[in-house]
Amino acid sequence: MEKRQKRHGLFRVLSAFVAVLLVVAAGCVWYVNDYYHAVGVGSALRSDDAVRVSDFEHGWEFDGPGTEDALVFYPGAKVEASAYAPLMHEAAAAGVDCFLVRMPANLAFFGIDRAEDVRSANAYGSYRHWYLAGHSLGGAMAASYAGKHADAWDGLVLLASYSTADLSGTDLRVLSLYGSDDGVLNRAKVREARRLMPRAYTERVIRGGDHAQFGSYGP
């Protein structure tokens, strides 16, 4: 009788444990699949007379008329990477070739070293200047990566973002852009982060701009 009660108790514990695992797994699946989808970016992902668009292992390359400058871009949290294709296409047409990176689970936190994957590819070794950029969480992760590899990069672009890494001792050029109507960005954190910036730091506010307008995405 006692053994039967022990087995019954063990069964209940195991059943509860399995139930918890199933709930956690379901939550993870929901979280991974709950993200902002790109909207109206089809033309930006196609080549035209000014920019050649091609896939690479972790995203898309936007190859424009420029030959010396390249930029690696980290998307914002839970945003489909292709939402930034219009911005990348426009930058490439202006002379800065761009590499738009896809992130695991649409979170740059899990792909912070993706810039290294792009740089290490032999096909991309001819550029003289390399820049790292990102939107929101992508910008924070780009800054963190740049802080650890500052000698390999010429500059950093933060879109509606800020750095938690100390870049004050680096020679990086940093440009910070955010909209005056951004209701997501923590302005206090932006102000606090200024002390972490190098001497070559520029901050600009886009009048009328909001948090999401750097990309093209919806629900």
pLDDT tens digit sequence for 114-135: 999 998 875 666 899 999 999 9
- Residue span of the structural domain in which 7 resides: 1-34
Given a cut of 90, whether residue 151 has pLDDT beyond it is yes
Task: For 80, list phi and psi in degrees, rounded to 5.
Answer: -60, 130
Q: Is 62 in the same domain as 142?
A: yes
Q: Is 114 in the same domain as 144?
A: yes
Higher-confidence position of 189 and 5: 189
Q: What is the pLDDT of residues 26-58, one digit of tens each?
A: 343 434 456 899 999 999 999 999 999 999 989
What is the pTM (predicted TM-score) of this model?
0.85
Q: Is 61 in the same domain as 8?
A: no
The pLDDT assigned to 147 comes to 96
Separation between Cα atoms, residue 124 and residue 121, nearest integer Å: 6
Q: Is 203 in the same domain as 132?
A: yes
Q: Is 26 in the same domain as 108?
A: no
Q: Is 6 in the same domain as 74?
A: no
Place of tokens 């606090």: 192
Given a cut of 60, whether residue 6 has pLDDT beyond it is no
The pLDDT assigned to 24 comes to 38
Q: Where are the alpha helices (H) located in the chain, listed in sequence order? A: 2-33, 85-93, 114-120, 137-148, 187-193
Q: Is 85 in the same domain as 138?
A: yes
